[in-house]
Structure 1
Amino acid sequence: MSYIRLNKHYIHQHFVVLGAVETCLLIGVAWVAQHLQLLLLDASPGWSLSLGELAPLLLFAFILSCCTLSMGVYIALVREGYASMVLRTLVSFFLLGSLSLYFVNLLAGGDFIDRSLVFWGVLAATFVVFCVRALFLGFVDTANLRRRVLVFGAGQRAQALLTELEAGSSRLGVRVVGCVASAGDEIKVAAHLVRTEPSDWVDYVKREQISEIVIAPDESRRQSQGAGLPVNELLDCKVAGVGSTDVLSFCERELNRIDVDMLRPSWLLFSDGFKNSKRHLFIKRAFDLVVSLLFLAVLWPFMLLTAIAVKLESPGSVLYSQERVGLNGRVFKIYKFRSMRQDAEKAGQAVWAQKNDARVTRVGAFIRNTRLDELPQLYNVIMGHMSFVGPRPERPQFVEQLIEEIPFYSTRHKVKPGLMGWAQLKYPYGASVEDAKNKLEYDLYYAKNKSFFMDMLILVQTVEIILLGKGVH
């Protein structure tokens, strides 16, 4: 397999060809959409194309192509399947693409890109790329697009990595070619994966078509200082185009979570991420306020009907509040429509919610499935206690227990909690310490890699969670 290096990333040649074909088609689609609009207006379309008319078409194709790359559409096509690609394309074209075209047009004076082109062009482009990608999957064996990875290490950490990759193999574009045992490793991986250390690393990675080397030896003091690693050989491979990645960063990138068992304080401090720029905080807060007020304006009739239904079914208050732990460990009160009996915690102690919890009323079950019980938390978002997207806040009693039992649990409080989060998309409802640990791995991934685009993706994917009632207890 051959790869092209672009902005420090290696892209398979099939994706380069697909991207080039799509860009050309986008230019053609924009041209046809623009002239069809003139035909509908009974105007002469003038099918010739001047240089001045070509510029907005090129810009249209360039912006939609950039949006496609920003949403990881091509990688999702192999790792996650056609359905995920469709969702990402809709977000990249209709949200990012349309907004980008609108703002570019605004900056250019309002008529550089015809408004009809933004609507009809994006609509037609979406249909065309769906067809092209379906043909791509039909003619190209995606198994051959999986990146071939060599693991340096054959002990406990290497086996843990293999287990994680196997569990997520349905959506990963990775194939582990073998594991090279490092000095001092007690072999834990399957015998057929064990490889002897090559005498010529560069020749080996080229011959085996390796695209990446994952460093995963069992840690010792000597190894943590670099002893036992073939540093010069790995550098030679890097110069030849085959880079090395530490096992934790590899898991983060491929599994979209941060493995707590492998996590070390030094990695948290020195890895890229966990940053809050003033620009990002301003955009996030402005988005939270605008969307919250918009939701209140649209959803207040449903909130009123929910309140009436809760009151009619069982005695007690319509709303209830609980203390939750927010940003930097600050405790605040969260508000919900009551979905349980009034005496759900008559002993006065916090209790984990369970599947088919008997304390939940009939109305409560419905408003939980539809997430109507969460709507009063719009108040928390407006007041700044929460954001729309972020780790779900936990109760102080649970937090105290989880901090004692789960390493780095308090790190999730470095970002503002939210109405919806990455962990809610990737992991079912948590009702135990082990579930909390697994969800923490996704919360840490969000805290490290948060961005406005990621927030948009979570918002769109949450629609599926609500419609299908996933993760509800």
Structure 2
Amino acid sequence: MINVFRSYYTIRNLFLIMLESVLLYLCILFSATLFAGGEGAGDLSGLSTKAGLVVSTCIFCLYCNNIYSLKDTNGYADLAFKLFQSFGAAMILLAMVYAAFNQAIIGTKFFFVYIPVVVAILSIWRFFYVYLLKSGVLSQSIYIIGDSDLAIDICRETEAEIDCGYRVKGILSRNPLKGMESVTAPHINTYDNLAATAKANGIKRIVVALKEKRGNFPIDELLLCRVSGIDVVEGNTFYEMLTGKFLVSSINPTWLIFSNGFKKSRIRNIFKRLEDLFASVILLALFSPLILVTALLIKWDSKGPVLFSQDRLGIRHKPYRLYKFRSMVENAEGLSGPVWASREDPRVTRVGKFIRTWRIDELPQLFNVLKGDMSLVGPRPEREHFVKQLEAQVPYYAERFIVRPGVTGWAQVRYEYGDSVEDAMEKLNYDLFYIKNMSIFMDVVIVCRTIRTVLFGVGAR
């Protein structure tokens, strides 16, 4: 993993994007060469700039289609289908650009060669890449020392995602570990000769996930590992780096106090506010026709006001009025009282279902961003009724109120909509990670992932 502006990203994925960008560019040169001087060659001047447009569009569509998350790709056939799907979307986007800017076109028949070539080359490369990942050749071998659920959770995460970059060679604990049957890594019931054993097995990192360290911490062996060049990392820190979230059920206040992050400054707050003002003004201007059409459709579809407003708790538990397009029947909570939305909620109108799927109902919250009640990116706001319930049941839930709530957030792009206390805890894992590592760069990443989420309707209710 690599830490970019205090946000963790897999080096392998960054390398993969750069490598495939080069492959796409080389395919352009090859395809353009075949047409050079012939019919359909078009204007090949400024080829580098034109190629850059094609490459960036293709990479964007590959990203939006989740090609860079092998965890969400089911086998080689699914991978090939997603490649064709991604390049089909890229061609549609490029056609729109070419309709507006004719000078950007490489050649009238260029794509008849380019698309088959690039799909064939990327498919062969990706199949080979997946084979290498499954073989474990590219993964770093690690040991986990642990007697807690955290040790099993870390092992499950590494086994579930073949491109995480790690391979657990063993879980070390003196006593039998609950949940070992759910993982394939072997159990090692001794710490004796840990340094020598680790070196003999090519272990590069040891993760310490002990629930109780007193009397159970192999300090001498770990010290010998450390001075021998084997990295030793604390379990919660490794889990955060591996998954992009916390595990609030296992962390303690001491870890939060001494961990890196949670840095706030006046300058950072000013930049964050300027980012919100600039983005909200641009987005309101850009989506103003859509806002007008949505308002008319809501008024035509069902009785009641166009906008729905509700009290939410913002930064430092300060209440404010949140605005959304109404997506449910009028007075939806008149009989049920405050409840979480559910799948196939009968209270949702026809237009409401559509605008929820595409997140159009959230657009009026841009006015909340302008007012300063919300930020463009941050933890989603919640109602006081649910906040009191969750603060009583979920550890560290109150800590999410040290920043402004957001229109979108890390939890929204990494986890589907939740309607239970368990879902709220899982989303808090992501919210705390964002608060700890928040930066303008991470906000940009979240906005890009939000675009992908909206395009594919993931998690909408």
- Match in the other structure for 2:180: 190
Deviation per residue, 1:42-82 (Å, 9 max, x gap):
99xxxxxxxxxxxxxxxx9xxx9xxxxxx9xxxx6777778
Alpha-carbon spacing, 1:14–1:251, altered in 2? closer, same or farther (3 Å)? closer
Alpha-carbon spacing, 1:259–1:133, altered in 2? closer, same or farther (3 Å)? farther
CA shift at 1:461, angstroms? 1.4
SS at match of 2:309: strand
Alpha-carbon spacing, 1:149–1:133, altered in 2? closer, same or farther (3 Å)? farther
Aligned residue among 248, 258, 262 for 2:246: 258
1:313-462 matches, cutoff 5 A? 313-347=301-335, 349-462=337-450
Which deviates more, 378-387 or 148-157?
Answer: 148-157
User: Contact between 2:173 and 2:191, CA under 8 Å: does it hold in 1?
Assistant: no
Identity of aligned residues (%): 37
Alpha-carbon spacing, 1:385–1:229, altered in 2? closer, same or farther (3 Å)? same
- 1:178 maps to a residue whose letter is G
Alpha-carbon spacing, 1:187–1:313, altered in 2? closer, same or farther (3 Å)? closer
- Match in the other structure for 2:166: 174
CA shift at 1:15, angstroms? 10
1:177-256 matches, cutoff 5 A? 177-182=169-174, 185-190=175-180, 193-219=186-212, 223-224=213-214, 227-256=215-244
User: Contact between 2:298 and 2:351, CA under 8 Å: does it hold in 1?
Assistant: yes
SS at match of 1:346: helix
CA shift at 1:25, angstroms? 9.4
For the residues of structure 2 that align with 1:419 and 1:159, how far apart are their CA atoms?
34
- 1:195 maps to a residue whose letter is I
CA shift at 1:158, angstroms? 2.8
For the residues of structure 2 that align with 1:337 and 1:254, how far apart are their CA atoms?
37
SS at match of 1:437: helix
- 2:278 maps to a residue whose letter is V
- 1:388 maps to a residue whose letter is L
User: Contact between 2:191 and 2:221, CA under 8 Å: does it hold in 1?
Assistant: no
- Match in the other structure for 2:273: 285
User: Contact between 1:155 and 1:186, CA under 8 Å: does it hold in 2?
Assistant: no
User: Contact between 1:181 and 1:197, CA under 8 Å: does it hold in 2?
Assistant: yes
- 2:128 maps to a residue whose letter is G
For the residues of structure 2 that align with 1:230 and 1:366, how far apart are their CA atoms?
57
User: Contact between 1:198 and 1:204, CA under 8 Å: does it hold in 2?
Assistant: no
- 1:398 maps to a residue whose letter is F
CA shift at 1:197, angstroms? 2.8
For the residues of structure 2 that align with 1:250 and 1:141, how far apart are their CA atoms?
24
SS at match of 2:364: helix
For the residues of structure 2 that align with 1:160 and 1:362, how far apart are their CA atoms?
41
For the residues of structure 2 that align with 1:341 and 1:12, how far apart are their CA atoms?
44
Deviation per residue, 1:251-278 (Å, 9 max, x gap):
1111111001101011111111112233
CA shift at 1:146, angstroms? 2.0
User: Contact between 2:315 and 2:402, CA under 8 Å: does it hold in 1?
Assistant: yes
SS at match of 1:141: helix
SS at match of 1:188: coil
User: Contact between 1:152 and 1:181, CA under 8 Å: does it hold in 2?
Assistant: yes
CA shift at 1:291, angstroms? 1.4
- Match in the other structure for 1:141: 132
For the residues of structure 2 that align with 1:41 and 1:284, how far apart are their CA atoms?
44
Alpha-carbon spacing, 1:230–1:344, altered in 2? closer, same or farther (3 Å)? same
- Match in the other structure for 1:159: 152
CA shift at 1:304, angstroms? 1.1
SS at match of 1:322: strand
Alpha-carbon spacing, 1:218–1:318, altered in 2? closer, same or farther (3 Å)? same
For the residues of structure 2 that align with 1:431 and 1:318, how far apart are their CA atoms?
25
User: Contact between 2:239 and 2:245, CA under 8 Å: does it hold in 1?
Assistant: yes
Deviation per residue, 1:160-182 (Å, 9 max, x gap):
4434545x435533221112214
Alpha-carbon spacing, 1:23–1:355, altered in 2? closer, same or farther (3 Å)? closer
User: Contact between 2:378 and 2:410, CA under 8 Å: does it hold in 1?
Assistant: yes
User: Contact between 2:133 and 2:162, CA under 8 Å: does it hold in 1?
Assistant: no
